Structure 1
C-alpha cells in the first residue's frame, strides 16, 4: 500500500480499532462530506449535534440493517484533523465493521492511508510533527514510563522547546546579518564575544543537554538486550527467572542444561529489556553444546549489556579475562570468602542483591531520576537532526571571530535553524512526512 496522502479535499474513512473480536468497533471519517455520507448511511437524514452521542441505525444500499450504534460528530476546525470528523461506534465484529466501511466507500469516502488522520492534523495546524510522532510513541510504548514521556511530547512540550531554540537562533542570526549589512562600521571585539556567549548559553548548551538524554530516551521506546553469560550451573537460568518474575527457564543441578538461547521480556525502572539466557561457557566434546556456546558468545557480542555470572562456591568460574559489562558473584550466601572487587555479590536463591542489580543495570543504561528527565530525545530522527544542527552551529562559531567570514557564520546558523524546523515539520518536509506516517496504523 502506498504511504502517499490521499487528496486533501477528499473524505477519508478507516477502522480505528484493532482487528479482532471486541465489544465495540469504531470507524473514523474525516473530510468535507463526512455529514452527508452519514446522512446517506443512516435510517434518517442524520444531523447529529456536535459532541453529543446520538443513537443511529446504519443500512446497506438495499435498505438492510448493517448495524446500529453511536454517532459522534466533531465539526472542524475544532476536531482532531481540523476537518469535520465523524466516529461510528458499533459492535466490534470484523465482518460488520468491514461491511460498514465498504458502504462508506460506496457513498464516496476513500480509504485512509496509514497515519492519514494525524497527517491531516499536522497539515491543518492542529499539531506539529513532533507531536504526531508522539502519537505513535503513545501507541507503541511498552512501559508506563515510556507512556508518560510520550504524553509530554504529545502535549507539545518538546515542540515548544525546539521552537524556543529556533527563536533564539533567529535572533542571533539577525545580529550577524545586521553586521553584514553595515560592513563599513567597525564592530568591537566585545560585540562578537557577547554574541558567542549568548549562542553557547542559549542554544548550544540546551542542545547538548537534550542529546545527553538520547541514550535513555531511545531505550525507553526501543528497549535494550541483556545477555547472561557464565560457566555452567552458575545460576544464569535462575537469574533470568528471578529478574523476569517468571518460571521461564529450566533450572537443574546438571551442568549443560541450557543448550540454546532463551529470551524473556521484562522491565527495569520503566526501561523495557529483553533478557537472554545462554549456554554455559566451557570446553566440551558435545556438538550440540558446542553450538550453544557459540551462540552464547554471539549473543553476548550483540547485546547492549552483558552480565557475567560466577559461582562463589567454585573459584574456577571466576573468569577475570572475560569481556562483560556487569560482573555478578552468585551464591554468596553459601561462601563468604574473599570476592574480587569488580563482582556484585548476589544470591538468586536467597534473593540477596537482586534490587542492587536492577539499579546497577538501570544506571548502566543511562537511567536518571524521573523528575530530571525534562525534554528527552526519544527518536533517532530527532537525535540525528540535533547532532547535525549542533555541528553547523559550532562551525559558525569558529568563523565568528573573522569579519570576512561572517557570511559563512550566518549561512551555517540558518542551516541549523532549518534543521530544527524539520523536527516540527517546518519547510519542505514531504519526504519526511511520507516516512514518518508509514509507521502509523491505518485509522490513526
Structure 2
C-alpha cells in the first residue's frame, strides 16, 4: 500500500478534484474511491479518508489517499495532486504543523522521531512514554512551580519598603532546592542511559592473540561472524557487529590480538585495536586462564574477563569475571556487568529518561541558572539577580516544550525528521 497525506485548508478540495464520485466525504470514514487524471482517465483506486481540523494530526484539514502502492501509479497520483496546488512536505513538516497548531508540544514531536529511530523494544517504550506527553507534563509542572517562586521574589522587589523575614527566604530556598533543582538533577542523572538507548554504545574486546575474543563476539551476537581458530593472529582488522544488552543497542568490536609483531599488517591491526579501545564507551580486557602471560592488560579496561576457565589454571585475580566461551558459562554475568557499565538501571525504577542531547544541554544550563539564583537569594540587594536567573531558567525549560521564541530550535529539530512526518 502507498499512502499520500495532504494537510492544509484546501485538502478536501484537492480530494474532490481527483475523485470520480461526487459523494460527500464523511469525516474519519474510509471510502472506496476512484482517482482520475486531468483527462478524466482512471489513475488508481483505493481508500480516501478525511480528517477535518482541528481534530487531525496537524490540526488542519487532512486527507489520506491509500492506493495500491506501485511506484508508477503512486508517482502519477502524486503528480496529479501537485497539479492541483499541493507541494512536497519538508522534513518533519506535518509534525511541525502539529506543534505550531498546539496539538503536541516540541518534546512530543521529538518523541515521534524517537519512535521511528528506536532500535530496541525498550527504547521504543521510552519513546512512546514521551510521545504520550509524560516528559512534557513533568517539565510543565517544574515550570509551574518555578513561576510561583519567581512571583514571590518579584513581589518582594515590588515592595522594597516592607521588611522581609529571613524565614521567607529560607522557605523559598527550600522549595527551590526540593521542588525544582533536585528533580532536574534527578532527570540529568538519567541522561547517560537515555541517550545510549537511542544513540547506542560501543564495546571493544581487547587482549592477547587466541584468548577467545572472536568466540565471545560470536556468542554475544548469536552469529558466526568472526573466524575462530587456534592459530594466533587470525583477526587482523577490526570486526564490528550490532546486538543489544538489556535493551541498550551495542556495537561490539572485535580487535586484533595485542602483541609485538614484525608483520606489517598485524602491526596495523594492533594499532587499530588500541584506537578502538580508546574510542569505545566500554572496553573488555580478555585473558586466557591457562596462560598467565595474557593476564596483564596493555590498555585501560572497564571489564576484565578471564576466558577458558574450563582449562587448568592458577589462582585467578579477584577482579576478573570468569567465562567459558565454549559453554556460555558466565555469559549472563558479563551481560549484567556490561549493562551496569553502560549506566543501566532497574526497569522497575526507569521512569522518565532524558533521551536527547538537546534536552540534556538545556537542563544543565537551566540548573546552573537555578543554582546561581539560589546563591543570591539571601541577599536583599541581589534579589533582582535571583529573579533574572530564575526567569532565564524558566525560558530554557520552556524551550524544551517549544514555548517562546524558538523558531531556530524548530528549524534544527525538524531538519532531522524524515519526509512525510
TM-score (norm 2): 0.99
Who is 1:424 aligned against? Answer: 401
1:40 aligns with 2:37: no
**Shift of residue 323 of structure 1?**
1.0
Query: Mean alpha-carbon deviation: is it higher for 371-380 or for 132-141?
Result: 371-380
What CA distance in whole angstroms lies between the structure 2 residues aligned with 1:392 and 1:325? 35
1:388 aligns with 2:361: no
Is the CA contact (8 Å cut-off) linking 2:274 and 2:299 kept in structure 1?
no
Who is 1:409 aligned against? Answer: 386
- CA displacement, residues 360-410 of structure 1 (integer Å, 9 cap, x when unaligned): 000111101112111210000000000000000000001001000000000
**Shift of residue 341 of structure 1?**
1.1
What CA distance in whole angstroms lies between the structure 2 residues aligned with 1:351 and 1:178? 67
1:294 aligns with 2:277: no
1:53 aligns with 2:30: yes
Where 1:111 maps in the other structure, the secondary structure is: coil
**Shift of residue 217 of structure 1?**
0.2
What CA distance in whole angstroms lies between the structure 2 residues aligned with 1:139 and 1:151? 10
1:250 aligns with 2:222: no
**Shift of residue 337 of structure 1?**
2.6
1:317 aligns with 2:294: yes
**Shift of residue 98 of structure 1?**
1.7
1:278 aligns with 2:278: no
Where 2:321 maps in the other structure, the secondary structure is: strand
Aligned residues: 421
Q: CA RMSD in A?
A: 0.8
Who is 1:112 aligned against? Answer: 89
What CA distance in whole angstroms lies between the structure 2 residues aligned with 1:65 and 1:234? 67
What CA distance in whole angstroms lies between the structure 1 residues aligned with 2:109 and 2:295? 50
What CA distance in whole angstroms lies between the structure 1 residues aligned with 2:76 and 2:250? 41
1:30 aligns with 2:16: no
**Shift of residue 50 of structure 1?**
1.0
Poorly superposed stretches of 4+, deviation over 6 Å = none
Is the CA contact (8 Å cut-off) linking 2:289 and 2:308 kept in structure 1?
yes
What CA distance in whole angstroms lies between the structure 2 residues aligned with 1:47 and 1:266? 51
What CA distance in whole angstroms lies between the structure 2 residues aligned with 1:266 and 1:438? 28
What CA distance in whole angstroms lies between the structure 2 residues aligned with 1:251 and 1:342? 27
What CA distance in whole angstroms lies between the structure 2 residues aligned with 1:131 and 1:361? 31
Summarize the alignment of residues 213-292 of structure 1 with structure 2, pairs less than 5 Å apart. 213-292=190-269
**Shift of residue 64 of structure 1?**
2.1
Summarize the alignment of residues 44-443 of structure 1 with structure 2, pairs less than 5 Å apart. 44-320=21-297, 322-443=299-420
Is the CA contact (8 Å cut-off) linking 1:333 and 1:350 kept in structure 2?
no
What CA distance in whole angstroms lies between the structure 2 residues aligned with 1:46 and 1:292? 70
What CA distance in whole angstroms lies between the structure 1 residues aligned with 2:124 and 2:231? 43
Is the CA contact (8 Å cut-off) linking 1:70 and 1:89 kept in structure 2?
yes
TM-score (norm 1): 0.94
Structure 1, gaps ≥5 residues long: 1-23
Query: Mean alpha-carbon deviation: is it higher for 204-213 or for 314-323?
Result: 314-323
Query: Mean alpha-carbon deviation: is it higher for 273-282 or for 96-105?
Result: 96-105
What CA distance in whole angstroms lies between the structure 2 residues aligned with 1:123 and 1:329? 56
**Shift of residue 320 of structure 1?**
4.4
